[in-house]
Structure 1
Amino acid sequence: MKYTILILFLFLFFTTTIQAQTITITGTVIDDDTEEAMPFCNVYVLGTSNGVTTDIDGNYTLQLDPSEGDSLATNSLGYADVIKAIDKSKTEQVIHFRMKSGTLDIGVEVTVLAGENPANEIIRQIIAHKKQNDLEKVVTSYEAEMYTKVELDLVNITKEMKDMKIFKKLQFIFDNIDTVSDVKPFLPAYVAERIYDVFYIKDLERKEVLQAQRVSGVKNQTVIDFIGSMNEEYNIYNNTMKLLGKEFISPFSNSGLAFYEYYIMDSTQVKGQWSYKLKFKPKDKSGNTFYGDFWVSMENYALLLVNMRMNPEANINLVNRIIIYQEYNPYNEKYWIPTKQKTVIDFATTKKDKGLGIIGRKTVSYKDFDIDKSNAKETFLEQDPEEIRYEELEKVDTFWDKNRHESLSKNEAGVYKMVDSVQNIPVFKTVAEIVEIVVSGYKVFGPIKIGPYSKLFTWNDVEGIRLSLGLGTSNALSKKFQIYGYAGYGFKDKRWKYGGNMQYVFNRYRRAAIGASFINDVTFENRNTEERKTQSLFSGWLRRYVPQKMMYIQEGKVWFQYAWKRGFSNRIAILHRRLNPVGFQHTRLGGLNFKFLENNHESLGRIDTITQIRSTEVVLKARFAYKERKISGPFKDVSLGSKFPIINLQYTFGVKGILKSQFNFHKVRLGIKHWFYTSPVGWIEYEAEVGKIFSFKPLPYLLLETHPGNEAYFYNKTSFNSMNSFEFVSDFFVHARIEHHWDGFLLNRIPFIRKWLKWRLVTAVRGSWGTLSHKNKNANRLNHYDRNIKRSKDRQKPFNEGAFYGSFDKGPYAEASIGIENIFQFIRVDALWRITYLDNRDAQLFSVRVTLNFSF
Structure 2
Amino acid sequence: MNDIKKKSFYILILLNFLILLTASAQHTVVSGTILDSRDKSPLPYVTVLFKDSRIVTKTDAVGKYTLSSPGPFSQIQVNYVGYKTQVLPISPAVTQTVNIRLQETSQSLTEVKISSGKKARYRNKDNPAVELIHKVIEHKPMNRMESEKTVEFQQYDWMQFSLSNLSEKFKNKKIFRKYQFLFDEQDSNEVGGKNILPVYLRERLLQNYYRKNPEKNKVVVLADKHVNFDDGLVDNNAIGTYFERMYADVDIYKNNIVFTNSQFLSPIADGAPAFYKFFITDTITTHTPNLIELSFIPRNENGLLFEGRIYITMDGKYAVQDAFLKTGKGVNINFIRAMEVKLNFDADTAGKFHLSKSHLLVDFGLGKEGGRGFKGERTVVIKNYKSNVDHPDSLYRGESLVVAPDAEKRSDQYWAENRLDTLAKDKLKIYSNIDTLGKMKSFKRLLDVASVLFIGYKKFGPVEAGPFYGFYGFNNLEGFRLRLGGRTTTDFSTRWYLAAYGAYGFKDEKFKYYGSVAYSLNNKSIYKFPQSFIRVSYQRDVDVPGDESKTVVPEDNIVSSFRRGVNNQFIYSQFYRAEYMQEYASHFSFNIGFKRWTQTPAGTLVYDSFENGQLVRTGQITSAEFNLELRYAPHERFYQGKTYRERTIEKYPVFDLNFSSGLKGAFGGQYEYQSLIGTIDKRFYLSQFGRSDVRLEGGYIFGKVPFPLLDIHHANQSYSYQVYAYNLMNFQEFVSDHYLSLNVDHNFNGLIFNRIPLLRKLKLREYATFKGLMGGIRDENNPNLHPNLLQFPTTEDGVARTYSLGSKPYIEGSIGVGNIFKVLRFDVVKRFNYLDNPGVSEYGLRAKVQFEF
Q: TM-score range by the shorter chain?
A: 0.7 to 0.9
1:195 to 205, 209, 212: 205
- Checking the alignment, whether the CA contact within 8 Å between 2:577 and 2:593 is kept in structure 1 is yes
Establish whether residue 226 from structure 1 lines up as the match of residue 208 from structure 2.
Answer: no
CA separation in 1, counterparts of 2:677 and 2:554?
18
Aligned to 1:487: 502
Q: CA deviation at 1:399?
A: 0.7
1:595 to 598, 607, 618: 607
**What amino acid maps onto 2:570 in structure 1?**
M
1:125 to 135, 145, 159: 135
Counting only pairs closer than 5 Å after superposition, residues 767-806 of structure 1 correspond to structure 2 as 767-775=772-780, 776-778=782-784, 779=787, 782-785=791-794, 796-797=796-797, 801=798, 805-806=802-803
2:326 is paired with a residue whose SS is strand
Q: Which runs of 5+ in 1 are unaligned?
A: 2-7, 63-71, 585-592, 787-795
Aligned to 1:379: 395
CA separation in 2, counterparts of 1:526 and 1:818?
29
2:713 to 707, 715, 719: 707
Mean alpha-carbon deviation: is it higher for 776-785 or for 473-482? 776-785
Change (3 A) 1:321 1:844: same
Aligned to 1:790: none
1:304 to 303, 306, 321: 321
Q: Would you say how many aligned residue pairs link Structure 1 and Structure 2? A: 811
Establish whether residue 524 from structure 1 lines up as the match of residue 548 from structure 2.
Answer: no
Q: CA deviation at 1:771?
A: 1.3
Establish whether residue 398 from structure 1 lines up as the match of residue 413 from structure 2.
Answer: yes
CA separation in 2, counterparts of 1:344 and 1:554?
53
Establish whether residue 717 from structure 1 lines up as the match of residue 726 from structure 2.
Answer: no
Aligned to 2:821: 824
Aligned to 1:213: 224
2:667 to 650, 659, 665: 659
Change (3 A) 1:758 1:181: closer
Change (3 A) 1:746 1:44: farther
Q: CA deviation at 1:224?
A: 2.7
Counting only pairs closer than 5 Å after superposition, residues 139-154 of structure 1 correspond to structure 2 as 139-154=148-163
Aligned to 1:751: 757
Mean alpha-carbon deviation: is it higher for 240-249 or for 223-232? 223-232
Q: CA deviation at 1:404?
A: 1.1
Q: CA deviation at 1:594?
A: 2.1
1:393 is paired with a residue whose SS is helix
Q: CA deviation at 1:769?
A: 2.7
Change (3 A) 1:553 1:97: same
Establish whether residue 477 from structure 1 lines up as the match of residue 485 from structure 2.
Answer: no
Q: CA deviation at 1:853?
A: 0.9
CA separation in 2, counterparts of 1:429 and 1:313?
39
CA separation in 1, counterparts of 2:506 and 2:418?
64
Establish whether residue 103 from structure 1 lines up as the match of residue 100 from structure 2.
Answer: no
**What amino acid maps onto 1:464 in structure 2?**
G
- Checking the alignment, whether the CA contact within 8 Å between 1:643 and 1:676 is kept in structure 2 is yes
Change (3 A) 1:156 1:717: same
CA separation in 1, counterparts of 2:620 and 2:771?
32
Establish whether residue 574 from structure 1 lines up as the match of residue 589 from structure 2.
Answer: no
CA separation in 1, counterparts of 2:114 and 2:427?
38
Aligned to 1:159: 168
CA separation in 1, counterparts of 2:345 and 2:80?
21
Q: CA deviation at 1:529?
A: 5.3
Change (3 A) 1:56 1:125: farther
Aligned to 1:340: 357
- Checking the alignment, whether the CA contact within 8 Å between 2:541 and 2:553 is kept in structure 1 is no
CA separation in 1, counterparts of 2:790 and 2:623?
21
Counting only pairs closer than 5 Å after superposition, residues 63-462 of structure 1 correspond to structure 2 as 96=101, 98-99=103-104, 101=106, 103-108=108-113, 116-136=126-146, 138-174=147-183, 177=185, 184-202=194-212, 204-218=215-229, 220-269=236-285, 272-299=288-315, 300-355=317-372, 357-381=373-397, 383-385=398-400, 388=403, 393-462=408-477
Establish whether residue 691 from structure 1 lines up as the match of residue 699 from structure 2.
Answer: yes
**What amino acid maps onto 1:843 in structure 2?**
V
CA separation in 1, counterparts of 2:40 and 2:423?
15
Mean alpha-carbon deviation: is it higher for 527-536 or for 118-127? 527-536
- Checking the alignment, whether the CA contact within 8 Å between 2:238 and 2:638 is kept in structure 1 is no
**What amino acid maps onto 2:145 in structure 1?**
L
String of CA shifts for 1:525-573, please: whole Å, max 9, x gaps: 5244599997584564211141233211110100012224533221111
CA separation in 1, counterparts of 2:403 and 2:24?
66
Counting only pairs closer than 5 Å after superposition, residues 540-689 of structure 1 correspond to structure 2 as 540-564=560-584, 566-584=586-604, 593-597=605-609, 600-602=611-613, 606-631=614-639, 638-689=646-697
Change (3 A) 1:639 1:832: same
String of CA shifts for 1:480-519, please: whole Å, max 9, x gaps: 3311111111111111111022222223554222111111
Q: CA deviation at 1:782?
A: 4.1
Q: CA deviation at 1:679?
A: 1.2
**What amino acid maps onto 1:555 in structure 2?**
F
Mean alpha-carbon deviation: is it higher for 99-108 or for 226-235? 99-108
CA separation in 1, counterparts of 2:468 and 2:306?
43
**What amino acid maps onto 2:309 in structure 1?**
D
TM-score with structure 1 setting the length: 0.84
- Checking the alignment, whether the CA contact within 8 Å between 1:79 and 1:99 is kept in structure 2 is yes
CA separation in 2, counterparts of 1:297 and 1:179?
33
Q: Which runs of 5+ in 2 are unaligned?
A: 1-7, 9-15, 68-75, 91-95
Change (3 A) 1:519 1:828: same
Mean alpha-carbon deviation: is it higher for 499-508 or for 413-422? 413-422
- Checking the alignment, whether the CA contact within 8 Å between 1:489 and 1:497 is kept in structure 2 is yes
Change (3 A) 1:773 1:802: farther
CA separation in 1, counterparts of 2:771 and 2:189?
54
- Checking the alignment, whether the CA contact within 8 Å between 2:58 and 2:65 is kept in structure 1 is yes
String of CA shifts for 1:26-64, please: whole Å, max 9, x gaps: 99573637967599899999xxx99x99977899999xx
CA separation in 1, counterparts of 2:547 and 2:480?
24
CA separation in 2, counterparts of 1:265 and 1:42?
22
Change (3 A) 1:386 1:262: closer
1:122 is paired with a residue whose SS is helix
**What amino acid maps onto 1:326 in structure 2?**
L
Aligned to 1:726: 732
1:435 is paired with a residue whose SS is helix
Change (3 A) 1:540 1:153: closer
Aligned to 2:514: 499
String of CA shifts for 1:189-222, please: whole Å, max 9, x gaps: 1111111221212252323222211112536233
Change (3 A) 1:37 1:415: farther
Q: Percent identity?
A: 27
- Checking the alignment, whether the CA contact within 8 Å between 2:546 and 2:711 is kept in structure 1 is no
CA separation in 1, counterparts of 2:325 and 2:269?
14
1:312 is paired with a residue whose SS is coil
Change (3 A) 1:272 1:533: farther
Change (3 A) 1:535 1:449: closer
Aligned to 1:30: 36
Change (3 A) 1:53 1:318: farther
Q: CA deviation at 1:657?
A: 1.7
CA separation in 1, counterparts of 2:34 and 2:698?
64
Change (3 A) 1:435 1:42: farther
- Checking the alignment, whether the CA contact within 8 Å between 2:689 and 2:748 is kept in structure 1 is yes
CA separation in 1, counterparts of 2:334 and 2:88?
36
Q: CA deviation at 1:406?
A: 2.3
